[in-house]
Structure 1
């Protein structure tokens, strides 16, 4: 049996903590007086430091320790959380990420960050060097103290399982010594004979006499994850010369002596960082409520594949049962269908992830773009609870980065131009997600100048994408911006101007069986809307027949089914409309679309499907019924066929193509427009 690499587990959880740290810093910039944000940011730093030291990331622990010491001034109200401080803190977060990803590379810049931090805080409390050895920070501190400091005695004994979970007493003492001049004494009164000592039990207690104004809140932070099960007392001493108990042995080093760093822990004794989170959960109910178990994405993909095969086998069993007169067989088939349906829904639910996990990444992007471009930008998100397949969320990151960068760089005007146009100086970029039938619509909206139709047309004509006399609707003109190499920027910058990016966006979205809609209003702004299916794995489908072929329509896109009225001409181009409760809905005869040669059948049915705001009727010969559809991707040889989004295997082993409703809705509208023009 193989065990997960504990250092890789630490990296995964550290990434989550760094994301939490970044989010907290960005929130703090908007609300610098919020104590909850300051404390949560400090806790994230403290957890990264403790876990880093536990798993041998000494450079991470050293850097975060120095940074945490400086940030503690903000927590105590001694320094404000200014934008300059947040900017340095974000740089520090990036440096921590580099140290964690490649601890052997020794990324440069740590000293400069701490120097910048010292300059921002306006004092010299932040150390200049970035120490990499714990022993370098264990030297005897300066014994000078201010008149306001008093003598305090701290006594503690660690929980019995603390060493098993990777707690290092030397690092804890180091944090206490950083608070001020102190004397550290070991309490050996409970130390058993050598022959019965258990190396995993912390027999030694500690007494620290420290000069400090009031160390109690700082001590609470030192033992943040250890308070349960430990003995701890912090009391002021009236007599500064009070001696230690006779059983205590002083171990405070001389001013020129270094305490050697502890030997690294054996990997098999290293607990997973989740143990640290569990201890934090005991203190914070919100953490406990969000507890979860980490599972590799590959295992979820494998599970989904198995469920897909089960669904196909269940469909075959159901078909055989329907042809049999055996009541027991039919009962078993119905029970298996119910169980497989529930298993499918549960498995898909595991794969569904709130899109807010993706949206949170872009706050830093907009923050940095605002600083680099000198534009004051408000970034608003909504619909973070909308869920989407994890695979799709991972592939959406790059397209959304391109769209947001374009909105900020091209869409939003400078503050001077906005004021001259009667707009507020601060621009707005909105990122939203909503359910739209069988799809999720993700929109990037800005309140900038909007798309310039004349400039886009001129560039399209110059590139040979559009004939000079061609008349096309605005919706098609806006799609020109997704052509390879297309750019209307007057100059090339570090952000844009080379025409690379938007074509990649379109290819990626189409690869996810999605589409992009563009709307714009001159002087008011633009909206890019990505329409994506909820999942790429298993869907409920409606099986229909056209001629001798069978096709599947995603059931979530189906609004209703009606019978095609008699008397409608087979080739009524431009007049292919049905009156559906007062609304005219265009319809497509799928026999014509697929070139079916079979004789026309009476009593044809119309399946009304929708995509976004559009609707179209699909005329079919027969509606067979509903079934669970396992989506199989088409090969690259069939990628140019836009009417189909995939294929599925039916219960009898034959293949049915899955109709791409978004493409058919768009095709139906253009089909009607062409008929009108004929």
Structure 2
């Protein structure tokens, strides 16, 4: 990999990590107003901004450094309690966070420098931030960074008096390979103060024929005049700290600290002494004292080396007992092992995981084919071998799918900002409560569920939760509550969006549906069926059109998107109490356990997690579409009739009982062919209009089987039957 490729990879990592930090920053800002002890949250927000600024400095992204530095200064004042947490301050810091995100997006798209629009927006935000710092600056200057520096120097706000810091830097040999430029760290140091002395150490550079162009052999001795804190200077080297030797000595430090550097750099004593004297860190007398003390402690002459470990020396001199030394060494090894385990977490590109899932899917199909041929051959040994292979393939499949499982709480937390902004726009006081955030689901599902959830959340806030005056008149608290909840149920994930608003008006929805011709007057519908009408295209009961809703768009998109994910959505509501929108979806969209059935020459796959049981179709039900299942009426769908499959019905048919939440339905099929690992293949745009089909799969025989979308199919069948029944009287009158 070339240096340019390594730098691009490092920059991509910077973008990804910055976006994560910005999300943490937003979460922290949104929780500040309701946090009784916000000190830790403020520190986390400050560190996020500081890390982004430091990382941007390493890549020479000066426009990000400049803007974030001002935000960081305000956050530092907040951390030092020089300014207080307020709604007005958060209302400015949130757009600042958005602006940093915009700058990061620009870098991701290849714009290393800020555009004129970005610079203008940043200046406007700086002016808004200056209002919060003006009251703390004696001179009322507009430059927040200068205000904060002056105030900090006068009050001791976390900074030290300006002085000469001594830095001894030895970068690791893999520094360049990891995409880091040693000179960029020096450039960034200049943003914290003045580099008054810089010497490049080249003693480690080998002969030309032994040199590796990708290895770093450089070191630096730096004298930095700065009033920054030691933490700020240390953070400059955050990304190379583990592989490099970084020694930082503050101004007016004890002589022992300089002795430690001299002990660790035996070949650089003269050069180091020269730098220390020229920079004013030490006088010539103090340097001689350092060197003499070094000789006394080592008991050796200048230029010699001492190979014995310090622990061994202490034991020999009876200053330390050997069991204590062994315990200390064991503890040291435990710490090293812990750090090694911590480094085992790696970031994997989502595309690589998708490729792995695709390959596992092909392996499942190939394994099914091998198992089918083994079954036909009646070779017992071969059957055992293929069964073992299929078991291992299933374990590989589950492990691969587990790699893509992520907690849905990350998606939920993003709505904190949405609820805050929309509440202000609507003039309502709404609190968001989140539960079930640890519930895991496939990342592909998380990526696609965000938009439907956004529609439901905004709809609940606009239509569901009443204005404060109305809530008080109804005996409710002025503050409305919106709840997001997730949990697992029968191999699926259920996501609930609930509010304590006025609920859905059943009569109003029905009247509007009759007016639009969606249902006929006098049609008997259950409450759930009436509530489901709001998902029809163009349906809206809003009296006024707003920026959020009332145009008859959105809810039909929600249903279409959820259905495309092989999911379903239903509503529970009670007038004056509130409403709950409940989305039920599969945990993964790639590979599922299915139940294979046959009708005529066609094969179908039913998601196994929705199969309750299989029973034989009673003979007395030959002319009916329902049966008695242990005292319970079970309606069923004849797949042969629904899909117009040709051929005579067999004498014996079976009913597969499927459950979707609390509802049960039967599917009448000819053959039960057992469980089947199903690799889901999309049908493509040409077949996107098909109702009741969620995809396709390839059987071991090479044939194609359709995967049934149970929810979509039952809803489509209900509409077909309703139209057929409504058409009967018209035909009889002719």
After TM superposition, the score normalised by the length of structure 1 is: 0.81
The match for 1:536 among 577, 589, 592 is 589
Matches within 5 A, 1:201-280: 203-208=219-224, 215=229, 229-234=245-250, 236=252, 247-248=275-276
Displacement, 1:71? Answer: 1.0
- Residue 66 of structure 2 aligns with which residue? 62
- Residue 377 of structure 1 aligns with which residue? 430
- Residue 129 of structure 2 aligns with which residue? 117
Change over 3 Å in CA distance of 1:490–1:154 after alignment to 2: same
Q: Is the 8 A contact 1:586 1:617 kept in 2?
A: yes
Change over 3 Å in CA distance of 1:383–1:127 after alignment to 2: farther
- Residue 570 of structure 1 aligns with which residue? 622
Displacement, 1:416? Answer: 1.1
Change over 3 Å in CA distance of 1:26–1:500 after alignment to 2: same
CA shift digits 1:228-258 (9 cap, x unpaired):
53212335579xxxxx975458689xxxxxx
Q: Which consecutive unaligned segments of at least 5 residues does structure 1 have?
A: 132-136, 178-182, 239-243, 253-280
Displacement, 1:217? Answer: 5.5
How many corresponding residue pairs? 626
- Residue 525 of structure 2 aligns with which residue? 472
The match for 1:654 among 703, 709, 713 is 703
- Residue 83 of structure 2 aligns with which residue? 79
Matches within 5 A, 1:64-463: 64-102=68-106, 103-106=113-116, 107=118, 108-123=120-135, 128=142, 146=154, 154-161=165-172, 164=176, 165-166=180-181, 168-174=184-190, 176-177=192-193, 185-186=196-197, 188=199, 200=216, 203-208=219-224, 215=229, 229-234=245-250, 236=252, 247-248=275-276, 288=342, 291-297=345-351, 299-463=352-516
* Cα distance in 2 for residues equivalent to 1:248 and 1:363: 53
- Residue 309 of structure 2 aligns with which residue? none
Q: Is the 8 A contact 2:603 2:706 kept in 1?
A: yes
Q: Is the 8 A contact 2:639 2:667 kept in 1?
A: yes
* Cα distance in 1 for residues equivalent to 2:413 and 2:47: 19
Change over 3 Å in CA distance of 1:624–1:186 after alignment to 2: same
Change over 3 Å in CA distance of 1:193–1:496 after alignment to 2: closer
- Residue 42 of structure 1 aligns with which residue? 46
Of residues 453-462 and 57-66 in structure 1, the stretch that sits farther from structure 2 once superposed is 453-462
Q: Is the 8 A contact 2:590 2:679 kept in 1?
A: yes
Displacement, 1:38? Answer: 1.5
CA shift digits 1:326-383 (9 cap, x unpaired):
4453344223322322222222222333222322221111111122222111111222
Larger of the two Rg values belongs to structure:
2
* Cα distance in 2 for residues equivalent to 1:223 and 1:503: 52
Does 2:658 align with 1:609?
A: yes
* Cα distance in 1 for residues equivalent to 2:509 and 2:163: 73
* Cα distance in 2 for residues equivalent to 1:406 and 1:78: 40
Displacement, 1:438? Answer: 3.5
Higher relative contact order (CA 8 A, sep 6+): 1
CA shift digits 1:82-139 (9 cap, x unpaired):
22222211111111112222244241221222222221345365974699xxxxx9xx
Change over 3 Å in CA distance of 1:391–1:187 after alignment to 2: closer
Q: Is the 8 A contact 2:442 2:589 kept in 1?
A: yes
* Cα distance in 2 for residues equivalent to 1:479 and 1:572: 27
Q: Is the 8 A contact 1:111 1:128 kept in 2?
A: no
Q: Is the 8 A contact 1:18 1:97 kept in 2?
A: yes
Aligned to 2:683, what secondary structure does the other structure show? Answer: coil
Change over 3 Å in CA distance of 1:414–1:166 after alignment to 2: farther
Q: Is the 8 A contact 1:483 1:502 kept in 2?
A: yes
The match for 1:19 among 17, 23, 39 is 23
Q: Which consecutive unaligned segments of at least 5 residues does structure 2 have?
A: 107-112, 255-271, 281-334, 729-734
Larger % of helix: which?
Answer: 2
Aligned to 1:204, what secondary structure does the other structure show? Answer: strand
* Cα distance in 2 for residues equivalent to 1:567 and 1:69: 81
- Residue 574 of structure 2 aligns with which residue? 521
Aligned to 2:250, what secondary structure does the other structure show? Answer: strand
Displacement, 1:385? Answer: 2.4
CA shift digits 1:492-522 (9 cap, x unpaired):
2222222222222222122222222122111
Displacement, 1:408? Answer: 0.9
Q: Is the 8 A contact 2:406 2:442 kept in 1?
A: yes
CA shift digits 1:562-617 (9 cap, x unpaired):
344x55332235x52311xx655444444444455644445543322111221223
CA shift digits 1:202-226 (9 cap, x unpaired):
54333456679xx456556566556
Change over 3 Å in CA distance of 1:676–1:485 after alignment to 2: closer
CA shift digits 1:20-52 (9 cap, x unpaired):
211121122321633221221111111111111
- Residue 267 of structure 1 aligns with which residue? none
Aligned to 1:495, what secondary structure does the other structure show? Answer: coil
> CA RMSD, aligned part only?
4.0
Displacement, 1:172? Answer: 4.9
* Cα distance in 2 for residues equivalent to 1:194 and 1:225: 23
Q: Is the 8 A contact 1:111 1:129 kept in 2?
A: no
* Cα distance in 1 for residues equivalent to 2:392 and 2:703: 24
Displacement, 1:412? Answer: 0.9
